[in-house]
Structures are given as C-alpha cells and as structure tokens.
Amino acid sequence: MKPVDINWSELGFNYIKTDFRYVSHWKDGKWDEGKLVEDNKIAISESATALHYGQQCFEGLKAYRTKEGKIQLFRPDQNAKRMNSSCRRILMPEISEEQFIDACKQVVKANEAYVPPYGSGATFYLRPFLIGVGDNLGVKAAPEFKFVVFGVPVGPYFKGGMAPVNFMIAEYDRAAPYGTGAAKVGGNYAGSLLAHKIAKDRGFADAIYLDPQTHTKIEEVGAANFFGITADNEFITPKSESILPSITKYSLMHIAENYLSLKVKEEDVFVDKLDRFIEAGACGTAAVITPIGGIEYNEKLHVFHSETEVGPVTRKLYDILSGIQFGEVEGPEGWIVEV
Ligand code: PLP
Ligand code: COI
C-alpha cells in the first residue's frame, strides 16, 4: 500500500481520482462477473439512455477506519436494497446484494491507501451507480447496463461538520406524488440544482423542499432527510412517499428509540409549526448529522436550538451513530460489515 499525500483533516466533499474502480456490464439478461479497472472514464454510446432519458441511479455509503486499523462498511445491504428499488422504478436490471457488497469491498481494498486514518474525522465515500448504455433512440429501457463503484476520501458535506447550518425553504419542488422522489435517480438531483444554487447564493447551506401537493409540509433537504426533537423527548421525521428513504434516518430512529429512549414518529411536519421542535437536524450518509441552526420560511428565519451551538440530543445521536460507524459503540446485529 503506497502512502498518498492527502491532508485528511482538510478534506471536503470533492472528487479525487483514486486508483481503482469496479465495473460490471449487463447484456443478454445477465451481469458479468465484474472487475477492477484503473481508467476513470467510461466510453458509452452517444445515444445511451443514461445520457438522454436519465436512466440511471446511484448510491452513497462509507467505509470507516477503526481504532484498531480495520475497515468497515455501514449497512451496505440497505444500499443494495435501495439501489434495486431505484432500478425497479426506472426499468433497470437489479444487481444481487452479494455482487453489490463484494464490489464495494473490492474497491475499498484496492484503494486502501485512500481510506482516511481513524481519528481524522474523514471517511472513504463509495459511490455505486448503475446506468443504461448501448445504442438506443426511442424512449424505452436501454439494451445494456453498467454497474460501477468508485470511492473517494471525504470530509464533511456541509461546511463545518457538526457546526449548525441554516437552510431555506425552496420555491421549487423536488419530486411529485407518485413520481421518482423515493428513488435515488439523478433526475431528482438535476431538478434540485437551481434551488440549491439560489440557497447557496443567499448564504444558506442548501434548500429544504416542501410537499409538492400542498406546500405546507417539510419533505427533505436537497441531499439529506430532516428530523426534529420536541421538548417531550420525541424524534420526529417527515412521512412521505416522495422522499428518499434515508438509511441514516432509519438508523437514527432505531438509535433514538433503543439507545436514548425517545419516542419516534414519522409524521407530517408542517412548516408553519416549527416551534414544536427544540432541536433539528439534517441526516444522510454524506451529511451524517448536520445540526440545523435555522430555516428561512416566508422571509423569517426560524431558529431551533441555536445558530452556533449543537443541541444535546443531536449531539448524543451523533456520538452514538458515529460511534457505531467507527467501531467504538456496539451496533445492532448486521449493521457493520468488515472489509
Ligand atoms: N435524501 C436525499 C435527497 C439524499 O440525497 C440522501 C443521501 O443519500 C439522503 C436523503 C440520505 O440518505 P442516506 O441516509 O441513505 O444516505
Ligand atoms: C449521500 O449522502 O450519499 C448522498 O447521496 C448525498 C449527496 C452527495 C447526493
């Protein structure tokens, strides 16, 4: 393993070319056995459905270096399941959980020098994706597909990591009822770029989307789910068919209930009733837990706990979640997979 020249503590969430990526090709009804390659460019037909009709989906998960120097994945089976559910939604062939997890492990092992050391706060982010390729012109599913996994060492997604950030309510919608909001498909993110840019230009970390039907309920952040904590020790998170079923969110619901004895509810979160929360956060693989200082809605900034300090419950949730991910806290059975 040759050492790499990276200042781990300065990493943000940016692409760095690592040495190997995994590629598997689907043709005539089956995936080939896949292999590691060095080239980070993919040659595909100019007419591929991934380029024209958004027939593609992706995942995000992380590899963590433990105190003992081992490397582990957090709930990769859940990412495999969600990728398959995205594939079903946009007519792409599913990939076995076994091949998905094996591909992730191969990429981590082959790029081990890029897996940040324990204690640096940085992690190795894996980006599996599946795209429609091959010649095609009409609007229909592709004749061939590629499944690729690459990995990148990353620091915090939102600047400051566990420092609170502010979000603004987007004037655009991210997903429609019965649309593709629950699938991790690129089109959802293309549709969010403008709202994201407006939010960034106005000094916010990102936009928060409301439900497209009534524009009264919080759905999720552009790249993370939302949760709030009430004074009655409740962990509340939006219930919606058009948000991404966040693996971090479901893990936090389990932690809130079983490690912190909070009452956990998935329910409507009305944007004009944010007073009920004494703390709020954004959660996701890239975001981990990012405390929400405030949310701007109707030109007013609603501040939860504080714009500068992390609330005590958010802090506990973070400590337990990251403790499990880095191997310091015993997690529920099956959550940790050694590489
Ligand atoms: N919501 C959106 C739109 C996301 O892009 C992500 C990131 O994957 C999440 C939520 C969080 O999901 P997870 O916790 O599975 O990473
Ligand atoms: C993730 O957290 O894995 C995401 O996909 C969020 C974003 C980088 C798209």
pLDDT tens column, 23-36: 999 999 999 999 99
Tell me, yes or no, if 2 is annotated catalytic. Answer: no
d(CA 149, CA 100): 9
- Atom from ligand 2 closest to the CA of residue 157: 8
**Ligand 2 closest atom vs CA 125:** 3
Confidence of residue 159 (pLDDT cuts 50, 70, 90): confident
Kindly give the distance from the C-alpha atom of residue 241 to the centroid of ligand 1, in angstroms, as a whole number.
14
Q: Is the CB of residue 248 below 6 angstroms from any atom belonging to ligand 1?
A: yes
Q: How far apart are CA 242 and CA 233, in angstroms?
A: 27
Q: Are 162 and 18 in contact (CB under 8 A)?
A: no
Does pLDDT of 160 surpass 80?
Answer: no
Interface predicted TM-score (ipTM) over 0.90 = yes
- C-alpha 39/C-alpha 184 separation (Å) is 25
Q: Which residue has the tokens 């109707």?
A: 298
183 lines ligand 1 (CB under 6 A): no
How far is the centre of ligand 1, averaged over its atoms, from the C-alpha of 180 (Å)?
14
- Mutation probe of ligand 2 site: the residue of 75, 124, 157 with most atoms within 8 A of C-beta: 157
The atom of ligand 1 lying closest to the CA of 188 is 3
> What average pLDDT does the segment 316-338 reach?
97
- The finding on whether 311 has its CB within 6 A of some atom of ligand 2 is no
Local confidence band at 161 (pLDDT 50, 70, 90 cut-offs)? confident
For the chain, helix (H) and strand (E) counts, in that order, are 7, 18
**Any atom of ligand 2 within 6 Å of the Cβ of 291:** no
Average pLDDT score over residue span 211-236: 96
Residue 284 CB less than 6 A away from ligand 2:
yes
**For 268-310, how does the pLDDT look when each residue is reduced to its tens digit (9 = 90+)?**
999 999 999 999 999 999 999 999 999 999 999 999 999 999 9
What is the spatial distance between Cα 237 and Cα 229, in angstroms, rounded to a whole number?
9
Examine the pLDDT at 127 and tell me if it is beyond 70.
yes
Residue 181 has pLDDT above 70, yes or no: yes
Q: Ligand 1: does its nearest atom lie under 6 Å from the Cβ of 149?
A: no
- Residue ID of nearest Cα to ligand 1 atom 12: 246
Could you tell me the distance, in angstroms and rounded to a whole number, from the CA of residue 332 to the centre of ligand 2?
Answer: 23
The secondary structure of 154-203 as a DSSP string is: E--SSTTTTS-EEEEE-SS-S--TTTTTTS-BHHHHHTTHHHHHHHHHTT
The kind and range of the H/E element at 133 are: strand 123-133
Q: What is the mean pLDDT of the chain?
A: 96
Tell me how far apart the alpha carbons of residues 262 and 255 are, in angstroms, rounded to a whole number.
9
Using an 8 Å Cβ cutoff, are 113 and 4 in contact?
yes
Q: pLDDT tens digit string along 1-53?
A: 667 889 999 999 999 999 999 999 999 999 999 999 999 999 999 999 999 99
Strand, helix or coil for residue 217: strand
Residue closest via CA to ligand 2's atom 6 equals: 223
Identify the active-site residue in 62, 105, 146, 184.
Answer: 184
Mutation pick for ligand 1 pocket among 127, 244, 253 (CB with most ligand atoms within 8 Å): 244
- What pLDDT, on the 0 to 100 scale, is given for residue 1? 65
Residue 230: enclosing H or E segment and its boundaries? strand 225-230
pLDDT over 90 (residue 328): yes
Q: What is the average per-residue pLDDT within 145-152? A: 98
pTM of the model: 0.96
What whole-number distance in Å separates Cα of residue 336 and Cα of residue 111?
20
Percent of the chain with pLDDT over 70: 99
- Helix, strand, coil proportions of the chain in percent (round to 5)? 25, 30, 45
72 within 8 A of 160, measured Cβ to Cβ: no
Ligand 2 centroid distance, CA of 63 (Å): 14
What mean pLDDT is predicted for residues 328-339? 97
The per-residue pLDDT for 76 is: 98
Regarding the beta carbon of 237 and ligand 1, being less than 6 Å apart is answered: no
| CA of 127, closest atom in ligand 2 | 3
Angle in degrees, CA 248, 115, 98, rounded to 5: 60
